[in-house]
Amino acid sequence: MKKIVCLGGGNAMPKTVLRGLKEHRVELATVCSMTDNGGSTGLFREDFSVLPAGDIRRHLLELSQGPLWKRELFNFRFGREVFSGGHKGHSFGTVFIAGLEHSLKNFNQALKYVSEFLEVKGDVLPVTLDKANVCAVLENKKTISGETNIDVPKHNPKLKIKKAYLKPKAKGNPAAIKAIKSADLVVIGPGDLYSSIVPCLLPQGINGTFQQTKAKKVFICPAMTKSGETNGFSVLDFAKTIEKYLGCDLDFVIYNSFLPEKQNIRKYKKEHPEFLTLVKINKDLDKEKYIGRNLLVKKELMEYSPAKLAKILLNL
């Protein structure tokens, strides 16, 4: 079987790439960013000095083959506390993972037990086992610290991000490095550039791995630009930024080439004000490397179809 390694954090990558690929006969591994510091995840990080479990919980759930009641339990939220960003209460899955790590003093062992409980197909790997936050240096030389402050900017969102790094520095998880080296295909994204994707490329030893692997490296470009992170970005801007942090060229870039009706874009932006405009499609893109398709699940939604993405990726 072909081995596919998927990198990302947040919601976008698991519910599009993993959801589509898990229906096919491939060996899957997912590498998750570990810089989430918002909501209940951030609270547990501060109170119990544990690694963030919010993003990796979504990866585990998406690859779970367990019965529905287990997946619903892991998604169940309790508590009335409202966190910044509108998150309410605590996800059972986040509490369970944090509690296991706190009692076992071993995040890998906690993940093993959770994977067994959820009957996970494939490997779910944190990109690092070190505690770190992502920082972004703006064009005015001011530094923004913490994923949640990049994701929902409290600064002027029109300022461009010039550089991202981890503080303190973190080492790449040896298991994640091994998975990337042995992969046939590595899929990066989609997702928020600096608060979801780039944090997967920053730990020491990770970007060097992309220069060593024989795997084809694929980036899935988001459909829309995001306030504070990718204002005015084109497909080429996304690709060049990813390649900067990879330390090597991408083999393929998949992007959405379908233009929805303006009323549908306005409706989506009203529901998701953090998204600004459609990503610009550059002229004269190399068609061997840049693959433009209608990736949307429906004409009125700006969300990618798992089935369409899986078909393109498997053809590569």
Other beta carbons less than 10 A from residue 128's beta carbon: 27
Give me the pLDDT at residue 88, please. 74
Per-residue pLDDT of the chain (316 residues; tens, 9 = 90+): 899 999 998 889 999 999 999 999 999 999 999 999 887 788 889 888 999 998 999 999 999 999 999 999 998 988 777 766 556 778 899 999 999 999 999 999 999 999 999 999 999 999 999 999 999 999 999 999 999 999 999 899 999 999 999 999 999 999 999 999 999 999 999 999 999 999 999 999 998 899 999 999 999 999 999 999 999 999 999 999 999 999 999 999 999 999 988 888 888 899 989 999 999 999 999 999 999 999 999 866 789 999 999 999 999 9
Give me the pLDDT at residue 207, please. 83
- Strand 185-188 relative to strand 143-145, pairing: unpaired
Residue 261 domain flag: yes
Phi and psi dihedrals of 165, rounded to 5? -155, 170
Indicate which CATH number applies to the domain containing 31. 3.40.50.10680
Domain that holds residue 79: 3-130+174-315
CA distance 304 to 302: 7
Alpha-helix residue ranges (DSSP H) falling in 28-132: 39-48, 54-62, 68-75, 92-104, 107-118
Give me the pLDDT at residue 34, please. 96
How many structural domains compose the chain? 1
- Adjacent-strand bridge partners of 280: 234
Distances (CA, A) of 18 to 56, 131, 137: 13, 26, 31
Residue 125 domain flag: yes
- Lookup: tokens for 249: 């060229």
Distances (CA, A) of 135 to 29, 132, 161, 207, 284: 27, 10, 10, 18, 34
* Secondary structure class of 23 (helix, strand, coil): coil
CA distance 303 to 258: 12
Give me the pLDDT at residue 1, please. 87
Give me the pLDDT at residue 189, please. 96
- Lookup: tokens for 148: 């949640």
Give me the pLDDT at residue 89, please. 76
Residue 212 domain flag: yes
Residue 166 domain flag: no
Residue 140 domain flag: no
* Secondary structure class of 67 (helix, strand, coil): coil
CA distance 62 to 65: 9
Give me the pLDDT at residue 87, please. 66
Residue 46 domain flag: yes
Residue 138 domain flag: no
Residue 139 domain flag: no
- Are 166 and 131 a contacting pair, CB within 8 Å? no
Give me the pLDDT at residue 2, please. 94
Give me the pLDDT at residue 130, please. 97
